[in-house]
């Protein structure tokens, strides 16, 4: 059973992922493993866990072909699904069972598609799946938060295979992470002080200044944030104030798909398919006040953090966001990447 | 001029390092550059900036050979040394000139020595230099914090050369970083609540439990912290309560050198020279209360962070610290690494 451990000094949680426990020899530098046969492709549904959700063509049956987006539980889950999260403390130290659900959202039946290569209706279906999965756990009192994210071109520390099939992930958590709590506390404090949402104010200032804007449509604004921690970082915000991504109405799926595809194509073309993370920042389940505002963060991983970043939390970004935004705006969206 | 930018949501700072500005083409994957002629070796003192501090053999002169440890200002400084830090705000956004001093502490006159390969008297001299440099800025009211750190086997994002000469770095800052403020606030709250220092309590519990202890001598304890964020992470704490590393008395240099060398040799031998960061956690300058407790963090960089860590701040550590400590304890310190 993986376990959450609470740092007694500042209160962050760490997941000690015993299921993935590695001996020292496994950390030694080695060649990347061979890409193995992809279990996420259409026709290989029996190589995955049973589907939790799918968007399917009429007349097809679960766990068979005929799907556009398919959601399954990870075969190498970060957390365990069994039982309630027991916690205990010993002296200064608190620990909690690592209970949670780890889903894989397979974005396309075809292999090696990047999200931005899909056509707009296909991206809209991915967004529909995001909304569905985020809402799937909202009545479960044991789930405090769900993180929806995507790692593109990255091999994370504990995952040893390198299947390139485009997919996102959703992990449910029995705690609200410190980073999320901080954002909620800050936006609440701003709201109480100013009577307005800080993200709504950011939207207004970004539209006025225009220097950091990458793209805009009727419903969304994409820009490089003022204090970008990674070069070419982008945030996509809904123009209307809404704390919960799960409330995104189907009428807005098209505009969201449009701006997301545009931002990803620009990033791909300008930086030649850089590694990046997508991270959805949304209010925790059953969050009462409406002072938060959801956004999608696109964070290219182009720099390496070392002792300075680790010791201070201050990131060093070599590309001013105004320069990044200008270059991204100037990058024409080639229709060739629309399949 | 590099600039500090303040995130208006949660209040982290980012350094926009315009001096190192990189065009998109420079982020594209490329071969590592050739190692260039090392300017840090003895006899090449004219290839660096003038020395700010050195521990020298009797009768030798500054900026000539004959030194054991030599401190110079970086030729590619992260921050600029000129002028007072001007700050301004524009709407929601605050920025501040990136003023600070970026020193390189060259740990040995010979090339490519790792810190743990130096003999004990040489490591004691490095520690003497650390104490000297940290104390050098304590009367300067414009300096709020100095971070002392070391990157071993890592190429940080903005540094393009790969000189392997063993060295540490010190960067002074016009702000107290959020991460440091958090640690101070938490230790203060614990002190007010419990009447004791949280680190002193941690020391007591670690000594009692023993499962995470790596090494101990009269003055210091080294252990793998309970919620270790990286596999094989170690903290070295002085047993006596002291907030400020700058107060380390010369009589303790030997014991600190001893435990540091031991921890680094164990790490080197067990994991075959892994990349790691050393980060010194110490109270900011002119910090009034004594409720903090300095420590040295040794953080091996064996896992990659991706969307989950970025989105939650929760790190995934595949090696329980009890397993890590056992393996580190079992790793005998070979005298061969003592030159």
- Does residue A327 share a domain with residue A193? yes
A194 found inside a domain: yes
pLDDT tens digits for range B274-291: 889 999 999 999 988 788
- Does residue B256 share a domain with residue B228? yes
Question: A184 — contact with chain B (CB < 8 Å)?
Answer: no
**Is B279–A311 a contact, with Cβ atoms under 8 angstroms apart?**
yes
Question: Residue B339's pLDDT is what?
Answer: 43
Q: Is A159 exposed, middle or buried (0-12, 13-18, 19+ CB in 10 A)?
A: middle
Last residue of one domain, picked from the residues B131, B150, B175: B175
| pLDDT at residue A269 tops 80 | yes
- Does residue B62 share a domain with residue B31? yes
A284 found inside a domain: yes
Question: Residue B294's pLDDT is what?
Answer: 97
Report helix, strand or coil for B171: strand
Question: Residue B7's pLDDT is what?
Answer: 80
Select from B20, B315, B320 the Cβ nearest to the Cβ of A318: B20
What ipTM describes this predicted complex? 0.90
Contact indicator for B103, B71 with CB cutoff of 8 Å: yes
Contact indicator for B281, B297 with CB cutoff of 8 Å: yes
**Is B198–A9 a contact, with Cβ atoms under 8 angstroms apart?**
yes
| Three-state DSSP string of B152-164 | ECCCCCCCCCCCC
Question: Residue A10's pLDDT is what?
Answer: 76
Rounded to two decimals, the pTM is 0.92
Query: How far is it, in rounded angstroms, from Cα A230 to Cα B163?
Result: 25
- What band does A33 get if pLDDT is binned at 50, 70 and 90? low
Question: Residue A148's pLDDT is what?
Answer: 97
Query: How far is it, in rounded angstroms, from Cα A12 to Cα B230?
Result: 13
- Does residue B183 share a domain with residue B145? no
- Rounded mean pLDDT, A151-177: 79
- Does residue A218 share a domain with residue A332? yes
Last residue of one domain, picked from the residues A175, A198, A224: A175
Last residue of one domain, picked from the residues A175, A202, A227: A175
Chain A nearest CA to B144, separation (Å): 12
State what percent of residues in chain A have pLDDT above 90: 65
| Residue A193 structural domain | 177-339
Residue B148 CA from chain centroid, whole number: 4
Question: Residue A339's pLDDT is what?
Answer: 43
- Which of A223, A216, A177, A175 has its CA nearest to residue A199? A223
DSSP B320-338: -HHHHHHHHHHS---GGG-
- Which of B109, B13, B212 has its CA nearest to residue A226? B13
**Is B14–A314 a contact, with Cβ atoms under 8 angstroms apart?**
yes
- Does residue B184 share a domain with residue B92? no
A12 found inside a domain: yes
| Count of domains for chain A | 2
Which residues does B57 contact at the CB level (< 8 Å), separation at least 6? B66, B67, B68
- Does residue A51 share a domain with residue A8? yes
A28 found inside a domain: no
- Does residue B337 share a domain with residue B236? yes
**Is A13–B314 a contact, with Cβ atoms under 8 angstroms apart?**
yes
**Half-sphere exposure for B120 (CA within 13 Å, toward CB):** 10
Question: Residue B104's pLDDT is what?
Answer: 97
- Does residue A285 share a domain with residue A158? no
Query: How far is it, in rounded angstroms, from Cα A114 to Cα A167?
Result: 8
Residue A324 has phi, psi (to 5 degrees) of: -60, -45
- Does residue B254 share a domain with residue B119? no
pLDDT tens digits for range A176-202: 998 999 999 999 999 999 999 999 999
- Does residue B195 share a domain with residue B163? no
The domain that holds B293 is classified in CATH as 3.30.428.10
DSSP A179-223: HHHHHHHHHHHHHHHHSS-HHHHHHHHHHHH-TTEEEE-SSEEEE
| pLDDT at residue A27 tops 80 | no
User: Which residue ranges in chain B fall short of pLDDT 50?
Assistant: 157-159, 338-339
Q: Is B278 exposed, middle or buried (0-12, 13-18, 19+ CB in 10 A)?
A: buried
Phi-psi region of A267 (alpha: psi -120 to 50; beta: other; left: phi over 0): alpha
Question: Residue A8's pLDDT is what?
Answer: 79
Question: B181 — contact with chain A (CB < 8 Å)?
Answer: no
Question: Residue B76's pLDDT is what?
Answer: 85
pLDDT tens digits for range A90-105: 999 998 888 999 999 9
- Does residue B320 share a domain with residue B279? yes
- A279: which DSSP letter? E
**Is A302–B27 a contact, with Cβ atoms under 8 angstroms apart?**
yes
Query: How far is it, in rounded angstroms, from Cα A47 to Cα A37?
Result: 10
| B chain contacts of residue A323, beta-carbon cutoff 8 Å | 21
| pLDDT at residue A30 tops 70 | no
| pLDDT at residue A216 tops 90 | yes
């Amino acid at each position: 059973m993986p376990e959450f451990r609470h740092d007694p000094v500042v209160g962050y949680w760490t997941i000690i992922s015993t299921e993935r426990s590695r001996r020292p020899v496994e950390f030694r530098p080695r060649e990347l493993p061979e890409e193995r046969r992809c279990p996420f492709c259409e026709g290989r549904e029996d190589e995955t866990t049973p589907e939790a959700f799918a968007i399917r063509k009429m007349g097809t049956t679960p766990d068979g072909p005929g799907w556009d987006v398919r959601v399954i539980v990870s075969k190498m889950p970060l957390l365990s699904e069994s039982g309630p999260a027991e916690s205990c403390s010993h002296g200064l130290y608190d620990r909690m069972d690592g209970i949670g659900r780890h889903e894989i959202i397979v974005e396309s039946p075809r292999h090696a598609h990047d999200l931005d290569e899909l056509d707009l209706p296909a991206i809209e279906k991915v967004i529909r799946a995001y909304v569905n999965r985020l809402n799937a756990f909202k009545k479960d009192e044991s789930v405090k938060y769900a993180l929806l994210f995507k790692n593109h071109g990255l091999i994370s520390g504990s995952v040893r295979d390198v299947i390139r099939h485009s997919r996102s992930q959703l992990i449910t958590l029995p705690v609200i992470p410190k980073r999320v709590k901080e954002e909620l506390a800050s936006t609440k404090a701003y709201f109480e002080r100013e009577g307005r949402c800080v993200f709504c104010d950011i939207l207004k200032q970004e539209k006025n200044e225009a220097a950091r804007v990458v793209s805009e449509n009727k419903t969304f604004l994409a820009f490089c944030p003022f204090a970008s921690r990674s070069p070419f970082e982008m945030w996509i915000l809904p123009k209307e104030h809404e704390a919960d991504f799960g409330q995104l109405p189907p009428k807005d799926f098209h505009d969201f798909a449009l701006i997301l595809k545009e931002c990803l194509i620009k990033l791909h073309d300008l930086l030649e398919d850089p590694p990046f993370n997508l991270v959805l920042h949304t209010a925790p389940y059953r969050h009462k006040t409406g002072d938060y505002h959801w956004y999608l963060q696109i964070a290219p991983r182009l720099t390496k953090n070392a002792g300075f970043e680790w010791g201070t939390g201050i990131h060093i970004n070599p590309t001013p966001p105004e320069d990044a935004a200008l270059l991204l705006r100037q990058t024409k969206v080639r229709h060739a990447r629309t399949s």
